[in-house]
Chain A
């Protein structure tokens, strides 16, 4: 196959996948809106389980990443700022880099690696073993039972974990400046950050993290459920789901960068 044909096939394949994931997202949205409170005795524990799995169990790892992120960003920037006498901008840089960019992205990648892969594997295995058809045979909507709790759970989890990671990173960043004897008091650091934070930051951070959670849940569930897979294809669809999720998160991030620039 020639290069231009290969690129054309690749683009058409991506467009087709995007269309199908879009249709899957619309179906999930309709089911979520119309069956929000249906079978609450069954669905609420499933949502709680997803929140526990994606929002609580990764906390130790997230704490480690938050500390490391704060140290790395602070370590790289504060030394440079001290050299040019611009320590006053330490808080501003921490907000720009951690709150707006790295915090949400690191969090979603952690949740994707830890929970997203698990979702694709369990759903595609269930599909391959015919358990999804068994749900339908019992009159249980697989979108309602399998997808909706994961979408809600992951959206809330990515949002909560991002807030937690950002706080940890900002604190560890300040601790690094303290250890390095940089003349920056906690009050000044806080004042710098509060001055650089705008109301849009909170709104966009919330929207971005919720979008990240929804999109990785949708793509992993789609890859797990939408194809008639055989057991030997589980690893392939898992890889596809992870690649698709990372690309989708980067694209969403790009949209939010534009939003930051416009607002």
Chain B
């Protein structure tokens, strides 16, 4: 294991969640996320991207093999150590970000801060306002999620994940069902997080993003991987990606989908 590995899968099989808990979704993953890296993971919908990120965040255990966070297996840690490790990994869920519908946007952001620091909402207000401002969400702070347009929901979930100041951020399909304006915002904002955003006091964030289309994410200094037919495959950086003959990766690079690929998006 590399010393700078933040997340490391060793021959791990990721299972499903909920009623599919024991069924394998992605098999034999060997993957190491190093500090400062920006990973783009491509896959068709419903192949287990969310389960992969949930496992990487320590929310579920692999059903075979091993997953380490910051060099440790979560099951070897005490409750407080496990919580500390998990809080260093932020996760932004797909399709609305799973916001708490009973709470306003400000309360959604304040909740984890107040819970972990045992402080009142008033004490967390400055931090919440700063994060909302830097993510361009100040005008929706007082609203409940139901009153905010759906494309903004995942952005609010991003703000909620960032407020705990994580070292690694896992973002599930940020551009899926996103309008062009939101797409542009994500493609500008995420590289600034990776480079060192003022929100993180200049510290670069390690990022893992899942996608169904590689084209918006093509840039140097990014690593690409793909999930296809329950198999995990690392494609390398942009030059290697452009040379790949992996059929799904080619479709994601060119935007030319064959019939079976198209069917998965319906």
Provided the pairs A129-B101, A139-B86 are in contact, do residues A134 and B114 lie with their beta carbons within 8 angstroms?
Answer: no
* Residue numbers in A under 8 Å from B21 (CB-CB): 228
A133 to chain B minimum Cβ distance, whole angstroms, is: 7
Contact B114 A39 (CB under 8 A): yes
Which of B93, B102, B115, B164 lies in contact with A134, CB distance below 8 A?
B93
B119 within 8 A of partner (CB): yes
Q: Which of B54, B90, B115, B118 contacts A133 (CB 8 A)?
A: B54
Q: Which residue of A lies closest to B163 (CB)?
A: A138
* B-contact bits for A129-150, CB 8 A (1 contact / 0 none): 1110111111110000100000
* Smallest beta-carbon distance A44→chain B, Å: 10
Q: Give the chain A neighbours of B118 by CB distance below 8 A.
A: 38-42
CA distance A137 to B100 in the complex (A): 13
The chain A residue sitting closest to B95, CB to CB, is: A130
In whole Å, how far is A121's beta carbon from the nearest beta carbon of chain B? Answer: 13
Q: Contacting B115 at CB < 8 Å: which of A42, A126, A228?
A: A42
B85: nearest residue on chain A (CB-CB)?
Answer: A139
Expressed in whole angstroms, the minimum distance between the Cβ of A147 and any Cβ of chain B is 15
Asked whether B19 lies within 8 Å of A228 as measured between CB atoms, the reply is yes
Q: Which residue of A lies closest to B120 (CB)?
A: A41
Q: How far is the CB of A25 from chain B (nearest CB, A)?
A: 20
The size bracket of the interface on A is 20 to 34
Is A140 within 8 A of B91, CB to CB? no
A-side contacts of B17, CB under 8 Å: 133, 228
Min distance, Cβ A6 to any Cβ of chain B, angstroms = 25
> Within 8 Å CB of A228, what residues of B?
17-19, 21
Instruction: State which residues 156-200 of B face A: CB under 8 Å.
Output: 157, 160-161, 164
From the candidates A42, A137, A139, name the one contacting B114 in the complex (CB within 8 A).
A42
Q: Which residues of A contact B91 (CB under 8 A)?
A: 137
Q: How far is the CA of A63 from the CA of B112 in the complex (A)?
A: 40
How far, in whole Å, are A138 and B166 apart by their CA atoms in the complex?
A: 11
A163 and B14 CA atoms in complex are apart in Å by 53
Task: Give the size of the chain B interface in residues (CB under 8 angstroms).
Answer: 32
Interchain CA distance A19-B118 in the complex, whole Å: 34
Interface members, chain A 96-151 (any B CB < 8 Å):
122, 126, 129-131, 133-140, 145
Check A131 against B59 for contact (C-beta < 8 Å). no
Contact with A along B1-38 (1 / 0, CB 8 A): 00000000000000001110100000000000000000
The residues of B that contact A134 with a CB separation of less than 8 Å are: 93, 97-100, 157
With a cutoff of 8 Å between Cβ atoms, the chain A residues found around residue B112 in the complex are 138-140
Chain A positions 37 through 81: 1 when the CB is less than 8 Å from some CB of chain B, otherwise 0: 011111000000000000000000000000000000000000000
Q: Are A133's CB and B101's CB within 8 A?
A: no
Check A137/B116 contact, CB under 8 A, given A131-B98, A228-B17.
no
By beta carbon, the residue of chain A nearest B54 is A133
A145 to B103, CA, bound (A): 14
Shortest Cβ distance from B187 into chain A, in angstroms? 24
Closest chain A CB from B74 CB (angstroms): 13
Binary contact track B74-118/A, C-beta < 8 Å → 1, others 0? 000000000100110011010001111110000000011011101
Indicate whether B57 reaches chain A with its CB closer than 8 angstroms.
Answer: yes
Find residues 34-86 in chain B having any chain A CB closer than 8 Å to their own CB.
54, 57, 59, 83, 86
Contact A133 B111 (CB under 8 A): no
Report B-chain residues with C-beta under 8 Å of the C-beta of A131. 98-101
Give A38 to B118 CA distance when docked, in angstroms.
Answer: 7
**Residues of chain A at the chain B interface (Cβ within 8 Å):** 38-42, 122, 126, 129-131, 133-140, 145, 228
Known interface pairs A41-B119, A137-B59, A137-B161; 11 further A-B residue pairs with C-beta atoms within 8 A, sorted by A's residue number:
A38-B118, A41-B120, A122-B102, A130-B98, A133-B54, A133-B59, A134-B99, A134-B100, A134-B157, A137-B54, A139-B112
Can you sample 19 A-B contacts with CB below 8 Å?
A39-B114, A41-B121, A42-B114, A126-B100, A129-B101, A130-B98, A134-B93, A134-B97, A134-B100, A136-B59, A137-B54, A137-B59, A137-B93, A137-B161, A138-B111, A138-B160, A139-B83, A139-B87, A139-B115
Closest 3 CB pairs of A and B: A228-B18, A134-B98, A138-B112
